[in-house]
Structure 1
Amino acid sequence: MSALISAALLGTARTAITFEELPTTVRSSTRELDGDPAELLLAAAALEKAYRRGGAGAITATVPTLAPDDVRFTLPESSSTHLLSMLAAKATLLDEWFAVALSRNYRAPDHLVAELLSFARASETHRESILQLVGERGRWLAAQNPEWSKLVRTRDANPDVWRHGSSAQRTQWLMDTRRTDPTLALAELRKSWGTERGEQKAAFVSALAIGLSTDDQALLEEALDDRRKDVRRAAADVLGRLPESEFGERMAARVQEWVRVERKLLRSTMVVLPPEEVDGPARRDGIEDRPNPHTDYRAEYVRQVISATPLSLWNNMIGGAKKTLGMSVDEGWEPILHDAWSNAAAAQNNVEWALELFNTRGVATDRRLLPLVPAKALADLLRAGNGDANVLHPGRAAIYDALRGPWPEDITRAVVAQWERAAARRADGGAKAGEFSRYKYVASLRLAETRFPYSAVTLLDRAAERARDPDWRQTFARTASAITHRKTLLEELT
């Protein structure tokens, strides 16, 4: 068609008409045409248009195998309807709803599978939960539709996708296989490592954090010598999660050179003496100059080394997390050491250190450590708070978020009481009334909808009756209604 358009634009007097690009059927019909070149051009264009509008011819298709049976319980009709409404509204309750539904072995009814796959394609937040709910039948249907086929991950041990797939497919295959067969994934990566493109290597190295073991050391050590900085950084980061490695031993040796403990009668002191400049082996291990407006290069060396050092070193040197954190240290070094120990505890998933750092730092605890802290310790710190800061303080907001529901009754009562104080200040007016608007508390109010116990409905109803500010009155009532609705939705699944 492009040749015909070109001839029409330039004119048949200046351009020879060619029909070579036309479909075979149309081309054979043009041979029967007669007339001047302009008439031939228009007739050929009309023939092709009619051909195109006529639709495609019949083809032979392979009938797919039947979808597998799913013997799980089918969701109740009311729950199915509510699920679609919650997905459309991006409801905060979805995490809890999916957890309950999947724990009770429910599956989506067949007539909803296509609609749920559309939600899974559009949003990543609940994609995995939706795919679990639709099960094998959902994955079967997704494989039949090009728009949904990317939702079906390669989960078998066949390395063909790794050897011939796209960059994204290969990375996904490596991550999935690391979960099921880390030895096979490592072997395949090892085979192709020498020919991999530099921009892909960093993602492949990061995938080794899944199913990480000492078997991965050799390849990670090789990656430390890669010419690309992002690959070297990824390798150092993954090795920092493997305390029982040669990398960890090298970092521990540096700490023992730079840090010493001076034993005194009443209290031991930690002395930190880093070098003015790190050597080549240290730079190979990822220790680099990182300018920081608040600290010098030497402090950053210490932060990086301790972050990658096995926490067991401090148990051997001093006697555990509590004793180490309780030691006297120069004031300028304390925040740097605490940050480094927090990095190490998060990387090594160390519960003992996470708890002791939480006990020491309180609301300033690194958020990455909060999921490792026992619920009782989180609740005790919240109980120790007072005034509006207990809700508004960013650190405490993170602690509230880490405390899974249902919250204890006393914490629930304390939060409602703080909201009531804010509502009273808002009703009283004044120059600072805006600080006590319900909009300032949106995060904690939404959290309460999924974390408050059902008994909080009575507290919230009473707060609504007492509230003098109309916005807060509606907010208390709306939150109580949301908790009641949550109770109804979850009871449908039991």
Structure 2
Amino acid sequence: MTSLRSDAQAGHSRAPRTPPAVQPLLPDLAIEQLQSLLQVRSWTLAEWFAMADQRGFLAPAASVPLFMEAALKYPEHREALLRLAGRRGQYLAEQNPEWAQLRRIGSRRDELWLSPDPNDRTAWFDYIRTVDPELASEELEIAWDDEPTANRLHFLDHLEVGLGEHDHTLLERALDDPAVRVRERAIQLLRQLPRSPFASRMVTRAKSWVRLETKPLRPRLAVRLPGSLDDLAFRDGIEDVHYKNKGIRRWWLRQVVTATPLTLWESMAGSPREALTIPIEKQWRTVMIESWTAATVLQKNTAWASAFLERDGRTTDRRIVAIADPRERVEYIVAGHADEYLLGVDGSALLDGIDRPWPLAVAEKLLNALENEAMEHAATGEDLGIHSRHSHFSTLRSVQARFPFEAIPLLRSAASRTSDPGWQQAFTDSAVNIEQRRLRLDVLRSHR
């Protein structure tokens, strides 16, 4: 195995925050509050860490061991905690074998990758994928032939973070792997990369199988499938098997269209919205639409997701909704298109990924829906039921974590208007918890 690139090179791809000359130390009160939030895995932690990072805080020397232990215990917040632990935390990780997984760039990271301990290797690989995914891919490619099948599959499973053009060569190599599961995983990843050689081959197939016909009346997509597949098609994961008894040729088409860059269909139809309305031969239309849906999810194409949302509204696949442009989702909610289902699972998909805190107009829409639920529940005279606060536990937790501070008086007003004691308490508690959020952030804002 050749030597790794230098630490400086490895860190170059990430644009780190620029800390002040002397970084402020976290006040004791902020540390206590953070510990409390971690213990309950609060939904507000992302907001707290973002503020701490923005202000350039470091943990005081005496508390650094606590932050290192927390980084082990709460892997979902590991990087944020290690940033707060700073260089002192990295020094301690050098001295303590139990913290080897917490070593980062500039901290003998080569020893982690060359370690016989799979946890060390995975920790190094996962971290480098966040700051320099190209380096991680290069190192895996160097080690590829020496890795047992289980390891090859394991590291492919960890390529999702930072997946990009730098992974093309490695994944093309994996297509020829002797292990079926490794080949299948490589194909799953390549379907997410619309600029890869794999994608180019799919475009070639799709162009020969699906063509734009401009006559006799209006443009339409016509499908002409081959009678058999060549060896290269099998290599690219186009399976020669039946799919749910719907016919082998439909299955071929589904696999190819799912793996084809969506830009091909835009070039034929003009735009995602036009592609979704262009006539398609009747026997192929369902397969094409379902395959475009899968491709939108795999390629995380916001333009196509927005087109699906505009066309299908509430019936849009929830995986698609979460990909649509957050600004367009906000406009969709504020315009009232989701009023009837904002509190359901379809509505929660609309809210996923919208920057926190949510816009006040979105908060007002959601609060109005909750007030309607409170009225419905008050009319039942019962404590439990489908309209009770208990049925909206997750939504109320989102309210407390994501509503803007300007919504506090709105929640208090809602509490005063509702006649149901349970909902009164829910609105009041939400206002109190949002106020506590504000106070916790004020501790960080006001400290010099």
Q: TM-score, normalised by structure 1?
A: 0.76
Q: Which residue of 2 aligns with 1:228?
A: 179
Matched with 1:287 is: 238
Question: How many Å separate the matches in 2 of 1:323 and 1:228?
Answer: 41
Q: Does 1:390 align with 2:339?
A: no
Contact kept? 2:375, 2:420, Cα under 8 Å: yes
Name the structure 1 match of 2:433.
482
Spell out, residue by residue over 1:370-421, the C-alpha distance to the aligned partner (whole angstroms, 9 max, x if none): 56533331012223236552212x1211111222233333332222222122
Say which of 89, 113, 116 aligns to 1:138.
89
List runs of 5+ in structure 1 lacking aligned partners.
Answer: 1-69
Which one of 131, 134, 146 corresponds to residue 195 of structure 1? 146
Pair 1:84 & 2:35 matched: yes
Residue identity matched to 1:286: G
Partner of 1:450: 401
1:167 aligns with 2:97: no
Aligned equivalents of 2:245, 2:409: Cα separation in 1: 50
TM-score by length of 2: 0.83
Residue 314 of structure 2 contacts residue 338 of structure 2 at CA under 8 Å; is this kept in 1? no
Structure 2: unaligned runs, 5 residues or longer: 1-20
Contact 1:461/1:480 (8 A) holds in 2: yes
For the residues of structure 2 that align with 1:381 and 1:126, how far apart are their CA atoms? 32
Q: Alpha-carbon deviation of 1:235?
A: 1.9
Call closer, same or farther: CA 1:431–1:333 in 2, change over 3 Å: farther
Q: What residue identity is the alignment partner of 1:408?
A: P
Show the counterpart of 1:23: none
Mapping for residues 267-286 of structure 1, pairs under 5 Å: 267-275=218-226, 278-286=229-237
Query: In the alignment, which residue of structure 2 is the partner of 1:238?
Result: 189
| Aligned-pair identity (%) | 34
Relative to 1, partners in 2 of residues 1:440 and 1:177: Cα closer, same or farther, differing over 3 Å?
closer
1:104 aligns with 2:55: yes
The answer as to whether partners of 1:101 and 1:493 remain within 8 angstroms in 2 is: yes
Aligned residue number for residue 309 of structure 2: 358
Partner residue of 2:385 out of 434, 438, 451: 434
Partner of 2:7: none
Please tell me whether Structure 1 or Structure 2 has the larger radius of gyration of its CA atoms: 1
The one-letter amino acid of 2:406's match is S
Q: Could you tell me which of 249, 256, 259 is aligned with 1:308?
A: 259
Amino acid at match of 1:385: H
The CA distance in 1 between the partners of 2:394 and 2:427, in whole Å, is 14
Decide whether aligned partners of structure 1 residues 151 and 367 sit closer, same or farther in structure 2, where only a CA change above 3 A counts: farther
- The one-letter code matched in structure 2 to 1:329 is I
Q: Does 1:417 align with 2:368?
A: yes
The count of corresponding residues between Structure 1 and Structure 2 is: 425
Correspondence for 1:323: 274
Is the 8 Å Cα contact of residues 401 and 434 (structure 2) preserved in structure 1? yes
Q: Given the superposition, is the C-alpha separation of residues 295 and 464 from structure 1 closer, same or farther in structure 2, using an over 3 Å criterion?
A: farther
Contact between 1:154 and 1:176, CA under 8 Å: does it hold in 2?
no
Structure 1 Cα separation of the partners of residues 434 and 278 of structure 2 = 46
CA distance change for structure 1 residues 214 and 400 in 2, over 3 Å: closer, same or farther?
closer
RMSD between superposed Cα atoms in Å = 3.2
Instruction: Kindly state the Cα deviation for residue 176 of structure 1 after the two structures are TM-superposed.
Output: 4.3
SS at match of 2:358: coil
Question: How far apart, in 2, do the equivalents of 1:174 and 1:455 lie?
Answer: 42
Counterpart check, 1:467 vs 2:418:
yes
* 1:425–1:433 CA contact under 8 A, matched in 2: no
1:257 aligns with 2:208: yes
Preserved contact between residue 339 and residue 365 of structure 2 (Cα < 8 Å): no
Counterpart-to-counterpart distance in 2, 1:406 and 1:184: 35
One-letter identity of the residue aligned with 1:204: F
Distance verdict in 2 for CA 1:253–1:200, change over 3 Å: same
Alpha-carbon separation, structure 2, partners of 1:307 and 1:444: 34
Question: What is the distance in 2 between the residues matched to 1:311 and 1:259?
Answer: 13
Check conservation: 1:423, 1:436, Cα contact below 8 A: yes
Q: Deviations over 1:128-160 (max 9, x none)?
A: 211111112122223333433322246668645
In 2, Cα distance between the equivalents of 1:161 and 1:71?
31
Change beyond 3 A, Cα 1:295–1:135:
farther
Displacement of 1:476 after TM fit?
Answer: 0.9
Q: Which moved more, 1:178-187 or 1:456-465?
A: 178-187
The alpha-carbon deviation at position 190 of structure 1 amounts to 3.8
Question: Residues 485, 284 of structure 1: CA spacing in aligned structure 2 closer, same or farther, 3 A cutoff?
Answer: same
**3-state SS of paired residue (1:73):** coil
CA–CA separation in structure 2 for the residues paired with 1:110 and 1:241: 44
Q: Which has the higher contact order (CA 8 A, sep 6+)?
A: 2
Per-residue deviation, 1:171: 4.0
Equivalent position of 2:326 in the other structure: 375
Taking the aligned partners of 1:463 and 1:185, their CA distance within structure 2 comes to: 52
Native 8 Å contact 2:376 2:387 kept in 1 = yes
- Give the Å deviation of 1:174: 4.1
Distance 1:484 1:188 in 2: 48
User: How far apart are residue 97 of structure 1 and its match?
Assistant: 0.7
